[in-house]
Structure 1
Amino acid sequence: MNKTFNIYCDESCHIEHDGKDFMFLGSVSCAYPQIRRHTKRIDELKKAHNFYAEIKWSNVSQSKIRFYLDLIDYFFDTDLRFRSIGIKKSLIRVDDNTTYDDFYYKMYYYLLNYKIDTLDHYNVYLDIKDSLSAVKVRRLKEILNVKYGVFRNVQNICSNESLLMQLTDFIMGAISYNMNDKLRRNQAKVAIIERIKKHLNSQSLSTTNYSDKLNLFFINLR
């Protein structure tokens, strides 16, 4: 029986000259029939903690730490999956034929080109990047379907339209903060990273030996 999955994508530290060492692209995948259930449960979790803002890593603070930790626990208790790729930005090379923007979407191909079952179907949603995103996203769909032919939809949406997109931003932010912010002065963010490591039974979030639950892969640019 064919299954359909939604994949919600976001990025962190992808701006070319932002002073960060690593760019990350990440995704949360969810079986299509489970989307409503997960959305409902996350919304209930927000209400239980009197949390009414958009879930964003950049907004993490100590005042709502219990909500954030419960959200991480919820992710690990469900069938939701997270995948991320990391790229060391100093190794990125662009020329007259390949722009930084082209490279960015090429990396999205590598993010999505992972354990695709050609008996299933996939809908991909990317957070809106700029006014040219729609053109690039259409091209990304075409390239993916040359190989697979199973990507029904690849499009941009606003993060406030989807709690699962917000969850992607949240987990993606934790991975990026762990690698790019060596001082780690925000104690709430540190606590979230420690909770993720506890669920993974790992001492580090900078290696790639995780299960399909949370998969982190670093692209080796040559």
Structure 2
Amino acid sequence: MECSHKTYNIYCDESTHLENDGQPYMIYGYVSIPYNEMALAKKQIREIKQKHGYEGELKWTNISDKTFALYNEIVDYFFMTNMKFRAVIVDKSEIDNTRAEYSYNDFYFRMYYQLLHHQMDMDSTYNVYFDIKDTCSQRKLHKLAEILKYNSAIRDFNFVKSHQVHFIQLADILMGAINYHLRIQRGTIEGKVRAKRLIVEKIKRQTNLSLLCTTPLKNKKFNLFFINLQK
């Protein structure tokens, strides 16, 4: 059961979301953490990185046989904590740009609405952070704030830089694992990187999920929503 009257930070990120990036899926996701647990989590993630002699940014693309032990421990750490993950996934082939409501210009906001709207406890307070990516980010932030202004649980929207925030980096790793698994299943990649396959299998074991379909809303720790645009 969710604890009432708590404050959470939500760290959002996007994966293969651009219209012409040649990737079959777009994924928007976040990692959330109770505000009062952030300092300890930052310290412990730094210690894991130091243990493995790793100074760079934690990213799915940096997973290799050489870095596997680090990322294996990082994923274990996520599942040991009160951090939560949620992602919404769309098959890009289902997007019909002739329908105004499904244009790429609007789709960004629809995805974030779906991502954030359904898992918020109105008895709690949320600070929502986005990875700043381009010169259009400020305009997008204002529009998202406008769309979600009805939600009194959201206290603040802000930008952060992903290389400075471990929680956005965790979101990148978990989204990367889902994306990798989906592309293997679809046959668009062979999945040759053994370390990445092992990370995917670890997540599947920890969650007892296939990572291929929508989970019930009651799944709070690891929640997935596959949006079907053909309906």
TM class by shorter-chain length?
over 0.9
Counterpart selection for 1:158 from 148, 161, 165: 161
In the alignment, the residues of structure 1 paired with residue 99 and residue 88 of structure 2 have an alpha-carbon distance, to the nearest angstrom, of 25
Matched, 1:205 2:211: yes
Residue 78 of structure 1 aligns with which residue? 81
Matched, 1:216 2:224: yes
Indicate the SS of the match to 2:192.
coil
- Percent identity between the two aligned chains: 41
Residue 135 of structure 1 aligns with which residue? 139
Indicate the SS of the match to 1:179.
helix
Residue 124 of structure 2 aligns with which residue? 120
Matched, 1:176 2:172: no
1:2 to partner: Cα distance: 2.1
Q: TM-score, normalised by structure 1?
A: 0.93
| Count of matched residue positions in the alignment of Structure 1 and Structure 2 | 220
Q: Runs of 5+ in structure 2 lacking a partner?
A: none
Q: Is contact 1:28-1:165 (8 Å) kept?
A: yes
In the alignment, the residues of structure 1 paired with residue 98 and residue 156 of structure 2 have an alpha-carbon distance, to the nearest angstrom, of 31
Indicate the SS of the match to 2:148.
helix
Q: What is the aligned-residue RMSD (CA, Å)?
A: 1.6
Residue 109 of structure 1 aligns with which residue? 113
Indicate the SS of the match to 2:66.
helix
1:96 to partner: Cα distance: 8.4
In the alignment, the residues of structure 2 paired with residue 105 and residue 194 of structure 1 have an alpha-carbon distance, to the nearest angstrom, of 31
Equivalent residue runs for 1:87-98 within 5 Å: 87-95=90-98
Indicate the SS of the match to 1:110.
helix
Counterpart selection for 1:193 from 180, 192, 200: 200
1:3 to partner: Cα distance: 1.4
1:133 to partner: Cα distance: 1.1
Counterpart selection for 1:17 from 17, 20, 29: 20
Matched, 1:50 2:53: yes
Q: Runs of 5+ in structure 1 lacking a partner?
A: none
In the alignment, the residues of structure 2 paired with residue 115 and residue 187 of structure 1 have an alpha-carbon distance, to the nearest angstrom, of 33
Amino acid at match of 2:86: R
